[in-house]
Structure 1
Amino acid sequence: MTAALTLDYKVESFALAKPFRISGHVFTDSPVVVVTVSDGIHEGRGEAAGVYYLNDDVAAMTVAIDGVRDAVAGGMTRDALQRLLPAGGARNAIDCALWELEARQSGTPVHALAGLPEPRPLRTTFTLGADDPDVMAAGARDYAQARALKLKLTGDLDMDIARVDAVRAARPDCWIGVDANQGFAIGDLDALITALAAADVKLLEQPLARGREADLDGYQSPIPIAADESVLTLADVDGLAGRFDVVNIKLDKCGGLTEGLAMARRARELGLGVMVGNMVSSSLAMAPAFIVGQLCDIVDLDGPIFLAADRTPAIEYRRGDAWCGEAIWGRG
């Protein structure tokens, strides 16, 4: 891609239908940056919410985007972008915009540009924010179509176990994973994992704080442990082996579809399981992650369900599966 381009962006905010609680945070809205890159005939778009625990917010993203505007205008490629900007929301938004632009210029679907077969619907988890056990159980029943649930925990061991047990009692039919969001210490894991195993929980995501990865050296868990905050980019993936079983890829963390695909492929080479996740954002952000999801064992692409209103057209949830068509993002 060598033609001169223009880059524009806008800041939007999506209200959440209700507050969403995880360990250490309560969210009431989702501010995002939407980048548009155009060659004067075709345009590509990318949406990013940033990474809240890295202070990668709208202000930081817009500064970073402004800093590469001239480089993009000169026809910057995705490979050049990888070298020019660090991982994070700004690079994610631009990278995804460049993918869509190429798909529209060439008339080739993004999955084909990425060397992937025709996409298939993906079984997605539906997430329950941390709340009283009976509230979470009611939420699990309300997700009538769900075949997979992800529960947010807070690090309060007794309460978290009660949450898991209540949801399992409400939905004995579902695959269940839990996301600890860095809420525990290594000394808590035996008790937590014993309770999770008794409730037939299939995944424990990020139990320890980022920076405490070495605490898992030699730890044997009957439940696969996924790295989320502990793995941001491709450079982190090799260090997961022997500590984690699954890598959770999020495009806002790693800086776009280009690196997300590389992470998924490298994780496979290392024998790690692969998961794709999302920040709470609209269907425009889900669509590139849906491409990564084609390489994944576990898919968590439910961000738009937390919004009071999504974009149109929107991701479709059918009988527990997610489907992103090209009308949302891609060739159009």
Structure 2
Amino acid sequence: MTAAISLEYRQTDFPLAQVFRIARGAKTEAKVVEVSLIQDGKVGRAESVPYNRYQETIESVANQLDYVQNRLASGVDIDLILAAMSPGSAKNAIDCAFWDLKAKLAGKSVAQLLALTEPASCITAQTLSIDTPEAMAKAAAALEHPPLIKVKLDNQDIAEKMQAIYKASPNSQFIVDANEGWSMSQLVDNAKVLADCNVVLIEQPLPTGEDVELINVKLPVALCADESCHTRKDLDYLAARYQAVNIKLDKTGGLTEAVALAQEAQALGLDIMVGCMVGSSLAMAPAYLLASKAKYVDLDGPVLVAKDREYGFNIDRGLMSALDHRLWGGASANY
């Protein structure tokens, strides 16, 4: 008889290597939730990042996990529990921990179970947080000309900052992330300058809801939905307004929905960006399996935290190493 699945969780705080600033604020540490699912002596793990933008806190996620813990203890099937949960970081942690557990029980990798191509390596963007033009240019130069840099920009000195960064790293391509911080006029007025600075993608320039204005807008730089894209139900709205979608597992509620979202987005002709909240390599690991489907990868959490987890990813000038199954996603470890 198969043993029941039990759930354990804990909060872990990862100090950041430096202050991380985006359009809606700054942070000095990543507060994450680590979930473990245990069955038959095997342990599946995952990490999620509760995000205030989506009305999530460590406490609200803990409340959801307490509920799931009680449901599992009362004998409710985990698949039924997951099906009833709303997308978000609590569901993400459970879904990804369950995939890790299934891989260990089956003696296979998660990539094999999902029929995904697991990359041997990939290029990930490396992120510049908001600062002065001079400081951002210095930070860009310190990255030593990686292929892809992600630039956080608020609505102040957009062109000046981007021109300074481009001058410091002229052979890189750039993704600009406004985090809902611009107006339509700021987007239109700066699009040509950004294109001239090797910017290939602009993420979520307008606030969610206000991006209705983007329908059939033609700009010299492609637009990517982030805060407006959570699950497949958003795609019909997004397809006429954006050219790409940023898939983050804390928004989709785990790898299961993320894979389905990627497949349907591609069928609609949208490019895929796989992204992350600020967390450790354990949060990046499930998302890494989507890299083979993605035109853009933004999984640089391991270089943003001051100290990563054991068996984490190595990122050298934007080249992200292979997933180590001792961390997550394979049968080579038993935690």
The two structures share one fold, judged by TM-score above 0.5: yes
The whole-number CA distance in structure 2 between the counterparts of 1:2 and 1:155 is: 56
Shift of 1:304: 1.8
Secondary structure, aligned partner of 1:194 = helix
Secondary structure, aligned partner of 1:16 = strand
* Residue of structure 2 equivalent to 1:175: 173
1:257-291 Cα distance to aligned partner (Å, 9 max, x none): 11111111110110100000000000000000101
Deviates more, 1:262-271 or 1:191-200: 191-200
Query: In percent, how many aligned pairs have the same letter?
Result: 38
The whole-number CA distance in structure 2 between the counterparts of 1:107 and 1:275 is: 30
The whole-number CA distance in structure 2 between the counterparts of 1:75 and 1:45 is: 20
The whole-number CA distance in structure 1 between the counterparts of 2:70 and 2:238 is: 37
* Residue of structure 2 equivalent to 1:19: 19
Shift of 1:164: 0.6
Q: Cα gap change, 1:17/1:327 in structure 2, threshold over 3 Å: closer, same or farther?
A: same
The whole-number CA distance in structure 2 between the counterparts of 1:165 and 1:220 is: 22
Shift of 1:75: 6.2
* Residue of structure 2 equivalent to 1:136: 136
| Mapped contact 2:2–2:40 kept (Cα < 8 A) | no
| Mapped contact 1:280–1:303 kept (Cα < 8 A) | yes
How many aligned positions are there? Answer: 329
User: 1:76 and 2:77 equivalent?
Assistant: yes
The whole-number CA distance in structure 2 between the counterparts of 1:310 and 1:257 is: 22
* Residue of structure 2 equivalent to 1:194: 192
Secondary structure, aligned partner of 2:77 = coil
1:151-203 Cα distance to aligned partner (Å, 9 max, x none): 000112xx121111011001011111100110111122211112111212111
Secondary structure, aligned partner of 1:32 = strand
| Mapped contact 2:34–2:46 kept (Cα < 8 A) | yes
| Mapped contact 2:225–2:242 kept (Cα < 8 A) | yes
What are the ranges of 5 or more consecutive residues in structure 2 without an aligned counterpart?
A: none
Shift of 1:236: 0.9
Q: 2:231 aligns with which of 226, 230, 233?
A: 233
The whole-number CA distance in structure 1 between the counterparts of 2:66 and 2:162 is: 45
The whole-number CA distance in structure 2 between the counterparts of 1:221 and 1:82 is: 40
| Mapped contact 1:51–1:253 kept (Cα < 8 A) | no
Structure 1 stretches of 4+ moved >6 Å = none
Shift of 1:72: 3.3
| Paired amino acid for 2:10 | K
The whole-number CA distance in structure 1 between the counterparts of 2:29 and 2:217 is: 37
Q: Cα gap change, 1:18/1:149 in structure 2, threshold over 3 Å: closer, same or farther?
A: same
Deviates more, 1:310-319 or 1:169-178: 310-319
Q: Cα gap change, 1:67/1:246 in structure 2, threshold over 3 Å: closer, same or farther?
A: same
What are the ranges of 5 or more consecutive residues in structure 1 without an aligned counterpart?
A: none
Secondary structure, aligned partner of 1:294 = helix
| Mapped contact 1:110–1:330 kept (Cα < 8 A) | yes
User: 1:29 and 2:29 equivalent?
Assistant: yes
* Residue of structure 1 equivalent to 2:7: 7
Secondary structure, aligned partner of 1:34 = strand
TM-score, normalised with respect to structure 2? 0.94
Secondary structure, aligned partner of 1:50 = coil
Secondary structure, aligned partner of 2:285 = helix
The whole-number CA distance in structure 1 between the counterparts of 2:273 and 2:118 is: 19
Secondary structure, aligned partner of 2:108 = coil
User: 1:120 and 2:120 equivalent?
Assistant: yes
* Residue of structure 2 equivalent to 1:60: 60
The whole-number CA distance in structure 1 between the counterparts of 2:151 and 2:118 is: 31
User: 1:279 and 2:277 equivalent?
Assistant: yes
| Mapped contact 1:81–1:95 kept (Cα < 8 A) | no
The whole-number CA distance in structure 1 between the counterparts of 2:76 and 2:260 is: 23
| Mapped contact 2:272–2:295 kept (Cα < 8 A) | yes
The whole-number CA distance in structure 1 between the counterparts of 2:143 and 2:46 is: 29
Q: Cα gap change, 1:145/1:194 in structure 2, threshold over 3 Å: closer, same or farther?
A: closer
1:217-267 Cα distance to aligned partner (Å, 9 max, x none): 121112110000011122112221110000000011111011111111110
Shift of 1:330: 1.5
Root mean square deviation, CA, Å: 1.5
* Residue of structure 1 equivalent to 2:218: 220
Secondary structure, aligned partner of 1:68 = helix
Deviates more, 1:234-243 or 1:129-138: 234-243
Shift of 1:213: 2.2
* Residue of structure 2 equivalent to 1:298: 296
| Mapped contact 1:264–1:274 kept (Cα < 8 A) | yes
Q: 1:267 aligns with which of 265, 268, 275?
A: 265
Shift of 1:117: 2.6
* Residue of structure 2 equivalent to 1:203: 201
| Paired amino acid for 1:46 | A
Q: Cα gap change, 1:191/1:255 in structure 2, threshold over 3 Å: closer, same or farther?
A: same
